[in-house]
Structure 1
Amino acid sequence: MADPRTTLALGLLILGLILAAEATPQGRILGGEDVEQGEYPWSASVRYNKAHVCSGCIISQTRILTAAHCVSDVGITPVDVNTLAVRVGTINQYAGGTIVNVNKVTIHPSYGNFLHDIAILEVNFLTFGDRVGAIALPSTEVEGSGEEANPEDVDAELPNGTPVYVAGWGELSDGTASYKQQKANFNTLSRSLCEWQAGYGYESVVCLSRAENEGICRGDAGAAVIDDQKVLRGLTSFNFGPCGSKYPDVATRVSYYLAWIEANSQ
């Protein structure tokens, strides 16, 4: 007959292994889950020398937004367009969809140190369909009022705690690159709370809160931050410290740049 102490010890060991497995990162984008094909048709994989480096967001059949630091050589001088391409129409960064050439890169003239971290890629004409399409840009009016929004009242656009969503091909929680696009949920932080938590309360950014060990990581920059109405509210920019730290993630606020986007999308 087995010694009860041995049986108890074995049971505790098995329980410990189960708990450890549950606590170990499960190969997701820091708390995200797989995207379904066609779920985020505005998504693009921005590629440098044929390798994925960042995400992008389709806003028209010839324009894609991404983070400026993804395509910057020095300051506002972009890398050679011949080194760039984008893959669209697939959730797999390695296969499927269509790879299109980049013909021009326009980096915001005030970009520097991750502020004004936005760039426009002019690409070959995209054919829209179920898996490729443009995201809606935000309105310059206060929703439902017909009045122009005050650009300084940034918390009126996205009040603290507004649910937003991001999908990208950034590193997974186990440190490997994700071949399949991942999505995750966030909540916005007010400007004052972002200033308090991270010392980063700029009008031109949107701060994103989430649990620790979740959030954006390398390869996610430039991904669309969308709201419940599938309107583009931001472009993921950077995270403080290691991925999934206690600090909020930061995105570039798209509404802040609407005039610049329009002027450079003709």
Structure 2
Amino acid sequence: MADPRITLGLGLLIFALLILHSTEATPQGRILGGEDVAQGEYPWSASVRYNKAHVCSGAIISNNHILTAAHCVSSVGITPVDASTLAVRVGTINQYAGGSIVNVKSVLIQPSYGNFLHDIAILELAESLVFDTRIAAIALPTKEEEEEATEDVDAELPNGTPVYVAGWGELADGTASYKQQKANYNTLSRSLCEYEAGYGYESVVCLSRAEGEGICRGDAGAAVIDDDQVLRGLTSFNFGPCGSKYPDVATRVSYYVNWIEANTQ
């Protein structure tokens, strides 16, 4: 995906400075080492757009709601950018053309969001989506799974579980890809993520992949799905440069099922 190089308020200005001066957790979003998505293969995907330019990905969860990463739509902390500056493109694998562009009516950032923890937000659309073969909602985890994950976070996604991500990020050579890219990952257990990256939080899912692959700028907020096509995570950030030896990090959706349902009905 091309980098639009726009600033989303003071919060993302600070974030941009951190990218320049830090080699630690750097929330970006491109899928390195991915391959083209076929039309309609990931119909729950949305290109989240700020002032008409793609900034992040999102996951359709209903006719009127999309989930994305909180840092994508944050002005300062849990204060979002003005909804009038946001829109989504759905129903196409081309970030520049096709499908439909729908304006955003409101933005709700998870109240505990901060320092890229609880990195999840709900976008309410100004118009209802009409579902077809290219636009559809992804299934959320059940409340039972949320309760199980609270008791044992690795019960939901045992170490090595295959998961899949598709988003619009730059290619490995740094060029902009107009086509959505997909990649395969395996989950890391909480203890292994703590060991490898010092990030064994219950509210996240760590994603293992080969060095030189992974998420970077533009893919944040993309759906992490399992073999049953259930939404398990939203890509959040990577440590250091894209494709580093460290795992990528996603927000664990089951951790927020009650909050999502309470704010999308």
Regarding TM over 0.5, the answer is yes
Deviation at 1:29, TM superposition (A): 3.5
Q: Distance in 2 between matches of 1:242 and 1:175?
A: 12
On the 8 A contact 2:149/2:255 being kept in 1, the answer is no
Q: What does 1:1-266 align with in structure 2 at a 5 Å threshold?
A: 29-123=31-125, 124-141=127-144, 149-266=148-265
TM-score, normalised relative to structure 1: 0.87
Deviation readout 1:97-154 (Å, 9 max, x if unpaired): 0000000000000000100000000002000000000000012225xxxx95251311
Where does the alignment leave 5 or more consecutive residues of structure 1 unmatched?
Answer: 1-27
SS of the residue corresponding to residue 259 of structure 1 reads: helix
Dislocated runs of 4+, deviation >2 Å: none
CA distance in 2, matches of 1:118, 1:253: 9
Residue identity opposite 2:73 in structure 1: V
CA distance in 2, matches of 1:191, 1:103: 36
- Matched letter for residue 130 of structure 1: T
C-alpha deviations, 1:37-77, integer Å up to 9, x for none?
00000000000010000000000000000000000000000
Q: Which residue identity is paired with 2:175?
A: T
CA RMSD, 1 decimal: 1.3
Is the Cα–Cα contact under 8 Å of residues 92 and 179 in structure 1 kept in the other structure? Answer: yes
1: CA distance, partners of 2:174 / 2:241 = 11
Kindly provide the amino acid, as one letter, of the partner of residue 182 in structure 1: Q
Matched residue SS, 1:256: helix
Q: Distance in 2 between matches of 1:128 and 1:140?
A: 25
Q: Aligned AA for 2:143?
A: T
1:175, distance to aligned residue in structure 2 (A): 1.1
Q: Distance in 2 between matches of 1:42 and 1:172?
A: 22
- What is the rounded CA distance, in whole Å, between the counterparts of 2:259 and 2:143 in structure 1? 13
CA distance in 2, matches of 1:44, 1:240: 24
Amino acid at match of 1:224: A
Q: Percent identity?
A: 84
In structure 1, how many angstroms separate the alpha carbons of the residues matched to 2:31 and 2:161?
A: 21
SS in 2 for 1:218: coil
Q: Report the 3-state secondary structure (helix = DSSP H, G, I; strand = E; otherwise coil) of the residue aligned with 2:148.
A: coil
Alignment check: 8 A CA contact 1:88 1:99 kept: yes
> Partners in 2 of 1:128 and 1:33 — Cα distance?
25
* Alignment-derived partner of residue 22 in structure 2: none
| Shift, 1:170, TM fit | 1.2
- How far is the alpha carbon of 1:178 from its aligned partner? 1.7
Higher RCO (CA-CA < 8 Å; seq separation 6+): 2
| 1-structure distance, mates of 2:229, 2:161 | 13
Where 2:193 maps in the other structure, the secondary structure is helix
Distance 1:109 1:126 in 2: 26
Conserved in 1, the CA contact under 8 Å of 2:149 and 2:254?
no
TM-score for the superposition, normalised by structure 2: 0.87
Distance in 1 of aligned mates of 2:151 and 2:171: 36
Aligned length: 235
Rg larger in structure: 1
Contact (CA 8 Å) 1:221, 1:235: kept in 2 or not? yes
Distance verdict in 2 for CA 1:96–1:76, change over 3 Å: same
